[in-house]
Amino acid sequence: MNHNTPLPPASPRPLLHLAAGRRRVLTVAQLRTHGVTTAELTEQCRPGGAWQQLLPGVVLLHPGPPTSEERLHAVLLYAARESGTPGAAGVTGVPAQPGAEDPHGTPPAYREAMITGQAALTLHGFTSTPPLLSLEKIDVLVPRLRRLRSTGCARVIRTPVLPVPRQVTGVPVAPVPRALADAVAELPDAGVVRRLLTEAVRGGHCEPASIVRELNQAKLLGRPHVVDAVDSLLAEGRAIAEDRLYRMVREYGLPDPVWNVDLRLPGGPHLGGLDAYWPEQAVAVELDTRAPRQDEDAMWSEYARKRETLERLGITVVHITPRKLRDAMEQQATVVRTALMAAGDRDPAAYVVVLPR
């Protein structure tokens, strides 16, 4: 044999090396890139074989029950759009090129798909949702025009616009507000819905307004048990925001205001309620805890009208959202302190009557 003699074709690697890999869930298309033929795939996936078809086009490379991680990846592989193909992963597609990622950093195998619903909430760290292995269905969010059907453990949920996913243990997961809305859509139990919404706020996962916005967009606010849970959620959110406001005044050395008061003109009309008021400086703080429901425009008009009326009377109104109090308390304390310090440079405010609310 000389250097011009062609080498014999390399023998195919035994299929055992695939099952020994780190990822034991692959699409049919990915298996083909490893040299697995249709005949070999059929043989491995026969009853009692070494592999099993977990979902259409998705193969589990061992015969036992899938782990929670394997179920998640199987659902994502089934639902994801692979590079350069219009179909579902592993059915008509070719695998994405290694290392190619979209602008959001989503792994290429999972483009246009993310875990949502109760499974997503569990991944976000919720304790009131079931463990992943106990969920019969795993919800997966895809674009509205994808031609996919729910099957096996995968429940397909469609949306006109995909949110930007969060990466949790290497899995693309819908943001908490969207995952909550998708979970609530499948839950008829008022107690379960209330626990989920309450944990979202108490656990600091998101603010009530973002939850109500998603529930409204999902047209879930017409369900009585959801409305009841939202009312409890808003009360919970306001209580948390008020506690943070008290803490801001105390921790950042602001002078003590009068808390939770109503203002009136002497012998005149009611001007509105305020969360905190400094009478000597004529500075007010109002927590903006509006929830985005169908009457949002009317509520905002009422807020704006009250603010304009007070400012015409020489009262400075500082609006603070619960999110700003949570994420930028020091900055909000600086805004209030600046307003208090500027009081001496303004014309005296009109006299108003301060009453407990």
d(CA 157, CA 142) in angstroms, rounded, equals: 6
Which tokens hold the place of 357? 């609310």
11 pLDDT tier (thresholds 50, 70, 90): very low
> How many Cβ atoms from other residues are within 10 Å of residue 338's Cβ?
12
Mean pLDDT of the chain: 84
- pLDDT for 251 equals 96
Which tokens hold the place of 139? 């919800």
Higher-pLDDT residue of 350, 4: 350
Q: Residue 274's beta-bridge partner residues?
A: 261
Domains of the chain: 19-186 (no CATH), 253-356 (3.40.960)
131 pLDDT tier (thresholds 50, 70, 90): very high
Listed as own residue / partner, the contacts of 186-191 with beta carbons closer than 8 Å and 24 or more positions apart are: 186/117, 186/118, 186/139, 188/225, 189/225, 190/225, 190/228, 190/229
What number is the average pLDDT over the span 95-100? 38
Smallest CA-to-CA distance from 74 within 62, 88, 63, 58 is with 58
- pLDDT for 9 equals 39
Higher-pLDDT residue of 169, 118: 118
Contact 322, 244 (CB under 8 A): yes
Contact 328, 235 (CB under 8 A): no
Q: pTM for the whole thing?
A: 0.74
